[in-house]
Amino acid sequence: MHNPDEARALIDLHADHIATTTAQRDQLRQLWHALIDRMDDNGTITASESDLTAATSIWQQRVRTRIGVLRDRGLLQLVQEGHGRVGARYRVTDPGQPRQAPLPAPPEGSRWVHNPDEARALFDQHADHIATTTPQRDQLRQLWHALIDRMDDNGTITASEPDLARATSAKQSTVHRRIAALLRGRALLQLIQKGHGSVAARYRVSDPGQPRRTVSRD
């Protein structure tokens, strides 16, 4: 892709499929626009991580991670490695429609829930059958609401464990266990697409009908 305006617009098609929060998406766009600012007439971007860090006020390690994600998602192609003060060279590529796992059928006897308010209420119907104590239920409820906050208009939740840990002031290992409790048995939460690296996982909410007791070990 050679046209800077087309390249700038490309990030808006893919940002929601790469980043999980508004802050992350804004930061990703900031980095992307800094890259496009360095595109020459032939469509080649020449930029060093330190240069991009200075231009965006984003930590250099995070710049490196974000560039890795952009490359992984097919938006950015490395043409030539950088070394020393010599910037790397990139080109912008259009990978087509954002990669998203097809929606499977809900578990037998369940139905997908698309409405955030209905999804929030669903937890209260099942809380006593997931957790055994009031503190456990309160902690799971906090995580549940953080998940629903990340539900899009199609009912898909995009969230990473580090993001959820920050949102709930919990350790990431604790978030991992609590998500496992929500995924267990005839679950309220269904994993649609695993996360990896900086790419968040995708979930959907399912209504399994009458509660069955599935106790959290957290």
Q: What is the pLDDT of residues 7-32, one digit of tens each?
A: 888 888 887 777 656 777 888 899 99
CATH topology of domain 111-207: Arc Repressor Mutant, subunit A (1.10.10)
Say whether pLDDT at 198 is over 70. Answer: no
Half-sphere exposure of 188 (CA within 13 A, CB side): 29
Mean pLDDT of 71-91: 86
Answer yes or no: pTM beyond 0.85.
no
Say if 4-92 and 111-207 have the same CATH topology: yes
Spell out the SS3 assignment of the chain: CCCHHHHHHHHHHHHHHHCCCHHHHHHHHHHHHHHHHCECCCCEEEECHHHHHHHHCCCHHHHHHHHHHHHHCCCEEEEECCECCECEEEEECCCCCCCCCCCCCCCCCCEEECCHHHHHHHHHHHHHHHCCCHHHHHHHHHHHHHHHHCECCCCEEEECHHHHHHHHCCCHHHHHHHHHHHHCCCCCEEEEECCECCECEEEEEEECCCCCCCCCCC
The amino acid occupying position 128 is: D
Enter the tokens of residue 135.
Answer: 């503190």
Q: Which amino acid is at 80?
A: Q
Mean confidence (pLDDT) of the chain: 84
The arithmetic mean of pLDDT across residues 76-102, rounded, is 80
Q: Is the pLDDT of residue 211 over 80?
A: no
Of 37-41, 84-88, 165-169, the poorest mean pLDDT is in: 84-88
Domain residue spans of the chain: 4-92, 111-207
Q: What is the pLDDT of residues 113-149, one digit of tens each?
A: 988 999 999 998 888 877 778 888 899 999 999 999 9
Do residues 104 and 192 lie in contact, with contact meaning Cβ atoms separated by under 8 Å? yes
Cα–Cα dist 156/24, whole Å: 18
Please check the confidence at residue 185 and state whether its pLDDT lies above 80: no
Closest residue by Cα to residue 37 from 27, 48, 45: 45
List Cα–Cα distances, 195 to 4, 26, 123, 141, in angstroms.
30, 20, 23, 22
* pLDDT, position 100: 53
> 4-92 — its CATH code?
1.10.10.10
Confidence of residue 215 (pLDDT cuts 50, 70, 90): very low
